Amino acid sequence: MTTQSTSTSGAAGSRETGSDPRSTTVAEHGSQEGGSLQGRRVGWIGTGIMGRSMAGHLLRAGCRVVVHSRTRAKAEPLLAEGAIWAETPAEAARDADFVGLNVGMPHELDDVTFGPRGVFEGLGKSAVLVDFGTSKPSAARRLAARAAELGASALDAPVSGGDIGARNATLSIMVGGETEAFVKAEPYFARLGKTVVHHGPAGSGQRVKIVNQVLVAANTLGMCEALHFAAATGLDPQRVLQSVGGGAAASWSISVLAPRVIGGDFEPGFIVDHMLKDLRIARDEAGEIGLELPMIELCVARYEALVAAGFGRKGTQGLYLLYRGG
């Protein structure tokens, strides 16, 4: 795993007090992949497609993991491995060294943190709260401010890599927040991802995730349209992938999602509803700083059409369904 910390925020150019720009590998930083998490207390909220695998890695690393999810059935595989069920987010956070959040929608994030019996009612001093989901940068700053009031700390650490990255612990983790909190969280990040980069103050990780989602959404749209063209012209799609997958068009969408499209598999690694939410966040954030970004508008329109067609719970490769008429 490679980690990198930076003292500046690219958007604002602000310097974070006490931070030290560096790039380290596992061999150079023994507290990461080789660091023991045995007996560490982890609270985890959200055990869906991504969260279940991520919490499982920490459980198998020796952590005492207390989980809460809106639907207990989704947590059952973790409970069978030895995780402990919490009736509320506050209960999951109580006495934890590290609290991970992986919920899908902004209102869910508010509910599990600021809501009644939410995380902030149980979060202890010196704990690190990490939001692994995608939310507005302003929400990340709000989480960090409230955690600081309680003597704790919060990081925004959205991830990329989909269900495969979560299962294989090869996620890319984009981190915003105080350097001290980042250093405390590194041993946990090392169990979850292959690439971990600290980008600056609270909200910086969410801004990088916006960059990521615009790239992914545009790439997936292009992949689906290209495969539709290939099919319409009588080309063998498997042979097409052999050609384009080894050239300049190579991408995660081509290598991972395109074979699913060809096989008629539109089940989610990352669901359409969540991608649309992320793109709307991107559009709002761009608007707040006075940018006009037509690619975002195009992607929002296409994903909105997919949701309107009844495919909001499909995977993002479901865009192909718009071309074949469902």
Per-residue pLDDT of 239-298, as tens digits, reads 999 999 999 999 999 999 999 999 999 999 899 999 999 999 999 999 999 999 999 999
Instruction: Tell me the pTM.
Output: 0.88
Average pLDDT over residues 176-204: 98
What are the pLDDT digits (tens) for 302-312? Answer: 999 999 999 99
Which is catalytic among the residues 136, 184, 209, 314?
A: 209
Domains of the chain: 2-200 (3.40.50.720), 208-324 (1.10.1040.10)
Beta strands in 14-149, from DSSP E residues, in sequence order: 22-25, 41-45, 64-68, 84-85, 98-101, 128-131
* pLDDT the model gives residue 5: 63
Between the CA of residue 260 and those of 44, 161, 223, what are the distances in Å? 30, 16, 12
Is 277 tagged catalytic?
no
- Measured between alpha carbons, how far is 111 from 274 in angstroms, rounded to an integer? 17
pLDDT, position 279 = 97
Q: Is the pLDDT of residue 318 over 70?
A: yes
C-alpha distances (whole Å) from 34 to each of 16, 153, 165, 187, 245 are: 28, 24, 20, 8, 35
